[in-house]
């Protein structure tokens, strides 16, 4: 069983070095062959990776991108490269900072034994961030469910079958939102409990603004559902307040229109032509092991 772990990196090679050691330690007793592909998203810091004592990892490649495209597009390009150039049975995308815990890889492998043809997602059961962030993240899930009908409780940390990878690289939404695209193309995902870990170094890069962008990108994947539900809400609310229409009662109507326009704007990020040409952004590939 060949498993490729896909890790996007941007100016965080110090954390990635520790992650590689942790992965090596946690896969030592697993009956599978593991390779690592790192996607260097045009980092500006020195590519300083220590790869000592990584005897359980079959190979490590560092794919260097010319231009920074962001986290989601970095994963999308990585999946496309793997699909077209690597021999694999499963792909595990994970963050390179420690927030996706290497010890949970074994849970994916155990799930594979019982569900070899289904992709697995790390369902968040506990987070490490502060109370305010957790409240905002909960609101993000509620708003997403309200407008899309999808209760998405997973991020990048997943275990994807070859068939799912093929579907993802054929889906333009992958270029904008990994988790949104996965929820769109697969209806029978297997859940594996996942605890959000703490970063090895520094604060989380998922700021409040980035959380909003992340949430809107997911919702935009389901823009047809958003438009339908927004029109339904608009019509029902208008009937309810018809006799009491005023500047104040009309505020929700204005907000729903603005929200819909924002979603349509963000959905424009789903560019299949850019996705298909994403590998031209690779400058070179370093073979680290």
Q: Classify residue 51 as exposed, middle or buried by CB count within 10 Å of its CB (0-12, 13-18, 19+).
A: middle
Checking if the pLDDT of 115 tops 80, the result is yes
Checking if the pLDDT of 129 tops 80, the result is no
Q: Which two tokens stand for residue 183?
A: 């929820």
pLDDT at 126: 65
Q: Which domains does the chain have, with CATH numbers?
A: 2-130+150-204+272-282 (3.90.550.10)
Residue with the larger pLDDT of the pair 134 and 93: 93
Average pLDDT score over the chain: 90
- Give the pLDDT band (50/70/90) at residue 277: very high
Q: Mean pLDDT lowest for which of 27-31, 170-174, 180-184, 197-201?
A: 197-201
Please state whether beta strands 90-93 and 2-9 pair in parallel, antiparallel, or not at all (unpaired). parallel
Q: Which two tokens stand for residue 283?
A: 């400058």
Residue with the larger pLDDT of the pair 125 and 93: 93
Q: Classify residue 161 as exposed, middle or buried by CB count within 10 Å of its CB (0-12, 13-18, 19+).
A: buried
Residue 41's nearest CA partner among 95, 3, 83 is: 95
Could you tell me if 215 and 196 are in contact, meaning their C-beta atoms sit under 8 angstroms apart?
A: no
pLDDT at 104: 95
Those residues whose C-beta lies under 8 Å from the C-beta of residue 214, and which sit 6 or more positions away, are 140, 177, 206
**Secondary structure class of 190 (helix, strand, coil):** strand
- Give the pLDDT band (50/70/90) at residue 213: confident
Per residue in 179-193, pLDDT (tens digit) is 999 999 998 899 999
Distances in Å between the Cα of 281 and the Cα atoms of 7, 115, 177 are: 17, 35, 19
Question: DSSP 3-state helix, strand, coil percentages of the chain (rounded to 5)?
Answer: 50, 20, 30
Rounded CA separation 191/154 (Å)? 9
Report pTM.
0.89
């Amino acid at each position: 069983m060949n498993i490729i772990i896909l890790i996007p990196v941007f100016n965080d090679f110090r954390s990635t070095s520790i992650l590689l050691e942790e992965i090596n330690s946690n896969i030592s007793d697993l009956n599978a062959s593991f390779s690592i592909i790192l996607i260097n998203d045009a980092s500006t810091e020195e590519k300083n990776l220590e790869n000592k004592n990584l005897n359980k990892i079959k190979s490590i490649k560092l794919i260097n991108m010319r231009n920074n495209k962001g986290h989601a597009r970095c994963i999308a390009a990585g999946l496309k490269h793997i699909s077209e150039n690597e021999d694999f049975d499963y792909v595990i995308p994970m963050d390179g900072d420690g927030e996706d815990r290497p010890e949970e890889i074994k849970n994916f492998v155990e799930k594979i034994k019982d569900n070899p043809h289904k992709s697995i997602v790390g369902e968040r059961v506990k987070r490490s961030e502060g109370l305010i962030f957790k409240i905002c993240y909960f609101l993000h899930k509620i708003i997403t469910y309200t407008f899309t009908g999808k209760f998405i409780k997973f991020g990048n940390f997943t275990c994807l079958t070859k068939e799912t990878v093929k579907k993802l690289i054929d889906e333009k939404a992958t270029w904008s939102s990994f988790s949104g695209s996965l929820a769109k193309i697969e209806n029978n995902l297997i859940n594996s409990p996942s605890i959000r870990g703490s970063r090895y170094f520094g604060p989380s890069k998922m700021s409040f603004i980035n959380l909003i962008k992340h949430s809107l990108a997911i919702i935009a994947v389901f823009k047809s559902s958003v438009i339908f539900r927004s029109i339904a809400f608009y019509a029902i609310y208008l009937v309810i307040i018809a006799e009491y229409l005023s500047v104040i009662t009309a505020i929700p109507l204005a907000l729903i229109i603005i929200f819909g326009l924002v979603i349509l704007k963000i959905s424009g990020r789903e560019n299949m032509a850019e996705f298909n040409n994403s590998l031209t952004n690779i400058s070179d590939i370093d073979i680290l092991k």
